[in-house]
Structure 1
Amino acid sequence: MRKLIWAISGIMFLAACNTGNSTKTLPIFGERTPVTKTVDGKPVTDTLYQTIPPFKFVNQYGDTISNKNLDGKIYVADFFFTSCPSICPIMQRNMLLVYNEFKSDPNVKILSHTIDPKHDSVPVLKDYADKLGIQGNSWWLLYGQKEEIYQLAEKHYLTRVNDGKDGLIHEGWFLLVDKQKRIRGSYDGTIPEQVKQLIADMHTLQLEK
Structure 2
Amino acid sequence: MRVHTRRIILGLLAAALLTACEDRKLPYLGQPETVTKTVAGKTTEETHYPSIPAFSFTNQDNQTVTESDFKDKIYVADFFFTTCPTICPVMKKNMLKVYDEVKDNPTVRILSHTIDPAHDSPAVLKTYSNDLGVNNATWQFVTGDRGKIYEIGQQHYLITAAEDAKSPGGFLHSGHFVLLDKDRHIRGMYDGTTDEGTYEIIRDIRTLLKEYEQEK
Cα distance, 1:194 vs structure 2: 1.2
Provide the identity percentage: 47
Encode CA deviations 1:20-61: one digit per residue, 9 max, x unaligned: xx6201000012110011133221000111000000111101
| Structure 2 CA distance for aligned equivalents of residues 44 and 185 of structure 1 | 28
Encode CA deviations 1:174-205: one digit per residue, 9 max, x unaligned: 00000011000000000111111100100110
Counterpart secondary structure, 2:155:
helix
Counterpart secondary structure, 2:130:
helix
Return 5+ residue gaps in structure 2 as ranges: 1-21
| Structure 1 CA distance for aligned equivalents of residues 178 and 83 of structure 2 | 22
Q: Which residue of 2 aligns with 1:64?
A: 64
Cα distance, 1:63 vs structure 2: 1.1
Counterpart secondary structure, 2:112:
strand
| Structure 2 CA distance for aligned equivalents of residues 35 and 43 of structure 1 | 10
Q: Which residue of 1 aligns with 2:179?
A: 176
One-letter amino acid matched to 1:169 = L
Encode CA deviations 1:129-167: one digit per residue, 9 max, x unaligned: 011011110000001100000000000000011212221
Q: Which residue of 1 aligns with 2:45?
A: 45
Cα distance, 1:67 vs structure 2: 0.1
Counterpart secondary structure, 1:207:
helix
Alignment of 1:45-194 (within 5 A): 45-166=45-166, 167-194=170-197
In structure 1, which of residues 192, 195, 200 is the aligned counterpart of residue 203 of structure 2? 200
Counterpart secondary structure, 1:193:
helix
Q: May I ask how many residue pairs the two structures share in their alignment?
A: 188
| Structure 2 CA distance for aligned equivalents of residues 36 and 171 of structure 1 | 35
Cα distance, 1:207 vs structure 2: 1.7
Deviates more, 1:35-44 or 1:24-33: 35-44
Counterpart secondary structure, 1:141:
strand
Counterpart secondary structure, 2:57:
strand
